[in-house]
Structure 1
């Protein structure tokens, strides 16, 4: 595939594998949590598959969103190089301080506006909270479970409002976001029930299937795109578990699933 194989879309998303998604919205191309390494060990985590589309095949990218920089399943070596070559990286304050330019740190509930390439005003990126582990997990010196993680809400005039969760395990946090941003149309939810035996007694560090379905119900979104459930050995649930949970909850009509690298519209 060449860059022509992933042409710009009017308003769509594709998941490339792991947490990495490409969102085309408002004339902008946005990449989330870039992970472009091939299958390989990364310390205590092991990557089993590379992305469906390489970084060289994406063409020009306008913005990179990094939920957190400390874990290689959300920012691996090639992903870090890719992010730092982008015009702008939006992330949390601690991640921005470690990444350096062109990263901009956004505290929760603060936003950054970007000029839309379609000429229709601005796209607003709002930073929202995430809890990367159990609600009762020990907090670090900065008050975070596991580490600082940032989710994002994208919005603009005549555009769908899109929530990207980052690695969040808390339905309560999703409820808080829904109360503050009650008109979310589409959600990219990190699922997979990631588990590391040495952390929090092996309890999930991200949403399992049932909590992904619960998060979808709380948000009231018309479209739910699961991500971050494959490509690494520490995921304890896969796509079949997510589909089963949504079916049991009567929410299967919300799920949008396609082969990695294939586009899904962000409008119903």
Structure 2
């Protein structure tokens, strides 16, 4: 982990480790699912590796996107403090209620505009659904499997359209996003086939490599960046499994792999 400054980019993303991504788009710096704790135990989950850059290296951040606040692998202690200090936090309605009035809670298929810093108008943040477990999993009183999870689509005039899946295990949900959103240029897909034996008989809570490859095919995105496949002990698949799945599907040309902390361009 380093605290040297992470240089600004034009329409690019870097994965810091786990689910945490830094997205520079429209002159804005956006951070998704911040996790900055050192390795260690978080109740029934264990963090095995810290981020490539710590929070002090990111400079001024404009927006934090939070898929969910229920699990420490998507929002740990330092990540929560980081989200609390952000000028804008966008998440789902239940999570926003727990954060208070400063947070913007978006139901699926609702959006929030953010003025861009590049003079290009607005960046639109659209909330989209995610299913954090098997399709036949028991739903809670709010209709969620496991917990409320929100994915996002970022778009704006002259910008690449970016889909961020959040912790989603459902190809049906990816297909719904693809039907509703035309011309997705890039996809940031949470992978790792996360498993917790006490939940859903140990079945995956997020996409495995084959489902990530299937999601890429459904979306038609020219750039696919995997995230959330390492740094925690409950992942049952790693980067090698993702790469093999894309190779077998004939989609390797879409996959963008870079060391954590290195940038990937969002334009195909």
Structure-2-length-normalised TM-score: 0.99
The alignment status of 1:197 with 2:197, answered yes or no, reads yes
* 1:108 correspondence with 2:108: yes
1:138 matched to which residue of 2? 138
Does the CA contact (< 8 Å) of 2:3 and 2:54 recur in 1? no
> Quick check: 1:125–1:152 contact (8 Å CA) kept in 2?
yes
Mapped to 2, the partners of 1:111 and 1:175 lie a distance apart of 19
Could you tell me which residue of structure 2 aligns to residue 12 of structure 1? 12
The residue aligned with 2:121 is: 121
Please, what is the CA RMSD of the aligned residues?
0.7
Question: 2: distance between equivalents of 1:69 and 1:100?
Answer: 13
Once the two structures are TM-superposed, the CA of residue 2 in structure 1 deviates from its matched residue by 4.9
Residue deviations 1:122-178 (CA, integer Å, cap 9, x gap):
000000000000000000011000000000000000000000000000000000000
Equivalent in the alignment of 2:52? 52
3-state SS of paired residue (1:56)? helix
Contact persistence 1:86–1:102 (CA under 8 A): no
Taking the TM superposition and a 5 Å limit, the aligned residue runs for 1:14-93 are: 14-93=14-93
Residue 255 of structure 1 corresponds to 255
Provide the secondary structure at the position in 1 that maps to 2:83: helix
Give 3-state SS (helix, strand or coil) of 1:133's partner.
Answer: coil
SS at match of 1:259: coil
Deviation at 1:101? 4.0
**Equivalent residue number for residue 162 of structure 1:** 162
Q: How does 1:212-251 map to 2 (within 5 A)?
A: 212-251=212-251
- Alignment size in residue pairs: 267
The offset of 1:100, in angstroms, is: 1.7
Q: CA deviation at 1:266?
A: 0.5
Q: Distance in 2 between matches of 1:61 and 1:191?
A: 25
- 1:106 deviation in Å? 0.2
Q: Is the 8 A contact 2:3 2:53 kept in 1?
A: no
Alpha-carbon distance between aligned partners in 2 of 1:263 and 1:211, rounded to the nearest angstrom: 24
Distance 1:194 1:264 in 2: 24
Is contact 2:22–2:31 with CA below 8 Å preserved after alignment?
yes
1:172-204 Cα deviation digits (max 9, x unpaired): 000000000021000000000000000000000
Decide whether the 8 Å contact of 1:208 with 1:242 is kept in 2.
Answer: yes
**Alpha-carbon distance, 1:103 to partner:** 1.1
Segments of structure 2 that go 5 or more residues without pairing to the other structure are: none
How many Å separate the matches in 2 of 1:127 and 1:137? 22
SS in 1 for 2:131: coil
Q: Cα offset for 1:99?
A: 1.6
Q: Is the 8 A contact 1:84 1:101 kept in 2?
A: no
Task: Give the 3-state SS of the residue equivalent to 1:179 in structure 2.
Answer: helix
Q: Structure 1 regions of 5+ residues with no counterpart?
A: none
